[in-house]
A and B are shown apart, each in its own frame.
Chain A
Amino acid sequence: MSMEELRTGAVSTQENVARYLEAIEERDSEVNAFIELNPRAEEEARRVDEKLRRGEAGKLAGLVIAVKSNINVRGLRATCASKTLENYVSPYDATVIERIRREDGVIIGMTNMDEFACGSSGETSYFGATQNPSARGRIPGGSSSGSAAAVAAKFADLALGSDTGGSIRNPASHCGVVGVKPTYGLVPRHGLIDLAMSLDQIGPLARDVRSAALLLEVIAGHSDREATTIRARGESYSSQLSADLSGMKIGFAREFEEYTAGEIIREVKHALSKLEAQGASVVEVELPSLEKALPTYYLTVFVEFFSATRRYDGRRYGYRIEEVCGEEVLRRIMLGRYISRKEYSGRYYRRALQFRSLIKREMLEVLRSVDLIAGPTTPKLPHRLGESLTPLEMYAYDLLTVPANLAGIPAGVIKAGEVRGIPVGLQLQAGPLEEQKILNAMYALEGGE
């Protein structure tokens, strides 16, 4: 559905929900984007239509939203695509869900994902792998695999994902959709099930920039009920979109070419030339610490994830995580348990925190001289489903996306082009709270006015 059709009332919320449910019914057995559908979606849609008739509806009225299964939605299962939580029906709404409901968005269901967001391919789910609707036979990327696939397959207008080291941007790139990882602390995390608390952020996935901006502005902004949101309001990103990039300086890091497949770089550069056509200038920048980003990221994730999973001790949720989880989740827990030992804490976790501030300093320094850092999202194209990768090969997918999480800065992905029919995403990174710059550049690339 186009937002225009919804706004003019050409399509009702109920019709919108019905069409999506039909599409899911028809095609999701193939895509496997959803773990559970919301049985009250039609009822909620009816109520939104009533509000629309009375002229009292919120910003998201008419829109249908899919939610990653690590976000608590009251009454639905937040399984994290793990057997560990297969029976966990959430008794509360995450802050982002409260905000979506307040603006009359309808939640259609809970999407598939890599188990506990541990993965970059969408293959580690207890409920089976997700297909890439935009490149059949390939992985959709992860860990927000189902959310990106649902948007790409037209099972929903919008989706929520979460991004710890690229989990929104990586599948957005592979599926050819728009994805935004906001500034750390801009979007409340209450209700988001942890992977690594100091890196996790919830963000939107969409088929177009405007609706991504709209969902972002609804979920963004300070929350009193948690301790790590920053004192910022969610700006009205969607109404401030502008494709005029005159004066905008975009940096392209020479290190990107070193790590990325040439066919991807070609598409990225092509996209950059389009941005230049809209008034931006492109300069070369340096990110020498890029090589330290992956080890820094994974050490942090192992320790924080180990801590976060201690509650799955088998007493309250049915299973002890170590007894039922998949290989990758277990690997991270065991490594986290190992490196957080008293005798190593200085050597690993604290060292990781030190490198993290180094990387952050470097990113912020570069972003003082340019408005955006633009480059590829992943170093390689998505592999074929079922192809087996070593853990290190899998981790390498995250090389270009983890710096934004380590630095706490916003980053967005939009389709730059295709290589042999496989989407390739352009990644744009900006300084803290400069989401609008990213959205504007993406809007320009999309061909908006």
Chain B
Amino acid sequence: MRVTIGFEIHEQLATRTKLFCKTPTDYREAEPNANVCEVCLGLPGAKPMPVNREALEGALAIALMLNCRIVREPIYILRKHYDYPDLPSGYQRTSMPIGKDGELAGVRIWEVHLEEDPGKYDPSTGRVDFNRSGVPLVEIVTAPDMHSPEEAREFLKELVKVLRYTRRVREEGGTMRVDTNVSIEGGARVEIKNINSIRGAYRALKFEITRQKNLMRRGRVVKRETRAYLEAQMITRAMRTKEEAEDYRYIPDPDIPPLLITQEMIDRVRETLPEAPHIKERRFIQQYGIKADDAKIIASELELADAFEEVAKVIPAQFAASWIRDEVKRVLEYNGITFRQSGITPAQLIELLQMVLSDEITLKTAKKVMELLPERRTSPRKIIEELGLKKLRDEEAVAKACEEAIEENPKAVEDYLSGKKEALNFLVGQVMRKTRGRADPAKVLEMLRGRIGDGE
């Protein structure tokens, strides 16, 4: 039974002001209903301002990144009418396609267009916060080209990566909203709304496909309908059938002349576009000869990829790549931040890795310093000096630590001598602890062997 999946993805554009007024978009920090004006409140008589250029260019950049053909005919802003407490004027403004017929990761992109976000309605209190009302959204509509929840998840991950690359969507995340269409061969198409994350999309699809399969197994019909995904229960629930489908009575908004995208504008926006992540990945493998897995991880964030290229000018590429993949990513993930948010600079990485390569510090020290970089935006050398973490060159000190370790751990020595090779690693660990990681582990191993004998 062949499964067919398509998406409509909404993401907030990173603009300073709203789509049709000059009210700021930072609705999260603001008190409820603080960032509003007569336009985004839809007060009687209020007229939209001309479309926010930053938002239009953002949608254009995204359409270009998704390999769309840009629409050069007049693009009308439509009014989509529906009745809901979060919609202050009773209609949502949504543009006709800005880009069409694109492609990403083997999935066809049907269209990219602009929309305004409604306010936020809390049914439990009946309150509406209009701070979000009028925030620009980009909507991306895909062809039904995915055939499993896993494939769908991979596509969404790739899409999020590309959207982040453009720097045109809101960085803080959590603003994505996904509607998905899913059908099984022989059944009708079902739309699922109210999905807020990639994981949510995956779970909703998993549940919905099982539900549809079960219906079919029992000889029942899968109706054409719209269902809501309930995050907490991880299930979908019927919202309305096709017969109950709303008629949005679209009309071109008489208050806004159609948009015209010029070649000049396309060229200007195209110039600001980064290299696409999958192309970057391929180039990294060829140009720097790094491993494919490393390239993929490094290219997952534009700023990280840029940093890698800076570092690789000075540091051997594969060493830099491994370090970024293992250590930089570990620190970012631990802190739950992006590279851009971490504030770590290529210069810091270069300095740190050079100290490793010139044998001034141990790898262990470098890892420790790495952990400090996101909070201490200073030179790694300074951190190392401050903490006294330079490699211990004083042979006597290392020898003394070895002897102490042997004396204090007779059991380990005995184990080692009776053939348990791992016991030596324990002793090395003890020496490293005593020298606060500053001793060279290879040297320590050699000294310990010299003192205990090789155990044979």
> Which A residues fall within an 8 A CB radius of B?
70-72, 78, 80, 85, 88, 90-92, 94, 188-194, 196-198, 224-228, 303-304, 306-307, 309-311, 313, 315-317, 337, 340-342, 345, 349
Contact = CB atoms under 8 A, between A and B. Distances in A.
Contacts of B257: 227-228
A218 B212 CA distance: 66
Given A227-B255, A307-B91, A92 B42 contact: no
A198 B81 CA distance: 18
Interface string B88-123: 111100000000000000000000000000000000
- Secondary structure at the A interface, as helix, strand, loop or mixed, is loop
- Secondary structure at the B interface, as helix, strand, loop or mixed, is loop
Contacts, number: 98
A90 B50 CA distance: 23
A345 B254 contact: no
B33 to A, nearest CB: 12
Given A92-B43, A311-B88, A315-B85, 13 more contacts: A71-B45, A72-B43, A85-B44, A91-B43, A92-B38, A190-B45, A226-B47, A226-B49, A226-B50, A227-B48, A227-B50, A307-B81, A310-B90
B44 A88 contact: yes
Determine which residue in A78, A226, A306 has the highest number of CB atoms from chain B within 10 A of its CB, and name it: A226
A191 to B, nearest CB: 5
B255 A197 contact: yes
Contacts of A189: 47, 255
Interface stretch (B137-145, B243-251, B329-337, B427-435): B243-251
7 contacts: A190-B46, A194-B45, A226-B255, A307-B81, A309-B90, A313-B83, A341-B249
Contacts of A317: 44
What range describes how many residues of B lie at the interface? Answer: 20 to 34
Contact of B251 (A227, A228, A303): A303
Complex A-B, nearest 5 residue pairs according to Cβ-Cβ distance, in ascending order: A310-B90, A197-B254, A198-B254, A340-B249, A193-B45
Contacts of B317: none
B243 to A, nearest CB: 14
Contacts of A194: 44-45
Contacts of A311: 42, 44, 88-90
A313 B90 contact: yes
A310 B251 contact: no
A90 B43 CA distance: 9
A408 B255 CA distance: 14
B455 to A, nearest CB: 83
B392 interface: no
B51 interface: yes
Contacts of B253: 197
Contacts of B249: 306-307, 337, 340-342, 345
Contacts of A225: 47, 49
Contacts of B48: 226-227
A196 B254 contact: yes
B206 interface: no
Nearest to B255: A197
Nearest to B85: A315
A310 B247 contact: no
B369 interface: no
B222 interface: no
A85 B45 CA distance: 12
Given A72-B45, A193-B44, A194-B45, A228 B255 contact: yes
B256 interface: yes
Determine which residue in A90, A190, A341 has the highest number of CB atoms from chain B within 10 A of its CB, and name it: A190
A88 B47 CA distance: 17
Interface in B221-264: 247-251, 253-257
Given A91-B43, A190-B46, A192-B45, A227 B51 contact: yes
Contacts of A349: 251
A119 B253 CA distance: 24
Contact of A228 (B88, B90, B250, B256): B256
B79 interface: yes
